[in-house]
Amino acid sequence: MPIFCEKRQLVMPGDLLAEGDYSAGDNTYRENNKIYATRVGLADYDKRGLYVVALKAFYIPNVGDLVIGKVVEVGFGNWTLDIRAPYLATLRASDALDRPFKPQQDDLPSIFDVGDLVLAKIVAYDRTQDPLLTVREEGLGKITKGQIIEIAPTKIPRVIGRKGSMISMLKKETVCQITVGQNGSILVKGNTSEDERLAIMAIRKIEQEAHTSGLTDRVTEMIRKEKGGVGNVPESK
């Protein structure tokens, strides 16, 4: 039962990955006992089967994901948000108010208006309905301070890093609060706009060099240089 690709091999749609009784994981499909890639990416396999880590993909909502969305429409009893996905997301008035919507009393635009950015979580999503959001948890709601940077959703894992190593370093070095939306939008909140600018620069660098190794160290060095001090390569954790 042969596997035709190597680990981390660049594959493209239609490339034959394996033949036989393997399971078809992410970004693959099975036809006539053969497994093929569906997207450009790096092929890999484990005991569960074959899969491809896509290099180019758009964000597909998952229940539980933290996302940053932009209000594009204020409806009757709800808001519609653009979360940079194939589907627009809905936030119900009753969710934001934490009680039933009272049309006579409640003025929705005063809570969230068109153009506002909102940090929310996806509570429901399936084939028959657009994603449903909630802002009822701690920390969720309208974004009033800080700056937003949008990157390709496939690079988000790199920004977080192995066991959160990259993002902890970023937070520490830039002294910023960094909230990562799974949909590729990242909120950076610092004490000064200079700190925020540094964080954004660092994230851009990660996005561009995501394919290289030793990135954590290089980004740290870059931040320190920018801050004015001589960059010392920190001890790796």
Partner 1 sequence: METSQKASSLINENGLRMDGRRLDELRPVKIEVGVLGNADGSAYIEQGKNKILAAVYGPREVHPRHLALPDRALLRCRYHMAPFSVEERKPPAPSRREMELSKVIREALEPSVFVEYYPRTSIDIFMEVLQADGGTRCASITVASLALADAGIPLRDLVAACASGKVEGHLVLDLDDAEDKKGEADVPLAFMPNLNAITLLQMDGMLSVEEFEQAVNLALKGCKQMYELQKETLRVKYVAVKEEVAEE
Q: Does 3 bind partner 1 (CB under 8 A)?
A: no
Element (DSSP H or E) covering residue 95: helix 93-97
Q: Does 236 bind partner 1 (CB under 8 A)?
A: no
Min dist. Cβ of residue 133 to partner 1 (A): 16
Which one of 104, 212, 232, 236 is in contact with partner 1 (CB under 8 A)?
Answer: 212
Q: Does 27 bind partner 1 (CB under 8 A)?
A: yes
Min dist. Cβ of residue 14 to partner 1 (A): 3
Give the whole-angstrom CA distance, residue 72 versus residue 62: 21
Residues 75-104 close enough to bind partner 1 by CB under 8 A: 86-88
Min dist. Cβ of residue 92 to partner 1 (A): 19
CB closer to partner 1, 86 vs 139: 86
Which one of 104, 128, 232, 236 is in contact with partner 1 (CB under 8 A)?
Answer: 128
Contact 89, 133 (CB under 8 A): yes
Contact 116, 71 (CB under 8 A): yes
User: Is 26 exposed, middle or buried, given 0-12, 13-18 or 19+ CB atoms closer than 10 A?
Assistant: middle
Give one DSSP letter per residue of 52-94, joined into a string: EEESS------TT-EEEEEEEEE-SSEEEEE-SSSS-EEEEHH
In angstroms, the first-to-last Cα distance of the chain is 41
Which one of 53, 148, 175, 201 is in contact with partner 1 (CB under 8 A)?
Answer: 53
Residues 6+ apart with CB under 8 A from 83: 59, 61, 67, 68, 69, 89, 131, 133, 183
Q: Does 22 bind partner 1 (CB under 8 A)?
A: no
Number of chain residues interacting with partner 1 (CB under 8 A):
38
Q: Does 202 bind partner 1 (CB under 8 A)?
A: no
Give the whole-angstrom CA distance, residue 201 versus residue 195: 10
Residue window 152-191: x/- pattern of binding to partner 1, with contact defined by CB under 8 A? --xx-xx-xxx---x-------------------------
Which one of 39, 197, 205, 227 is in contact with partner 1 (CB under 8 A)?
Answer: 39
CB closer to partner 1, 31 vs 107: 31
Min dist. Cβ of residue 18 to partner 1 (A): 14
Binding site for partner 1 (CB under 8 A): 8, 10, 12-14, 16, 27, 29, 31, 36, 38-40, 42, 53-58, 86-88, 127-128, 130, 154-155, 157-158, 160-162, 166, 210-213
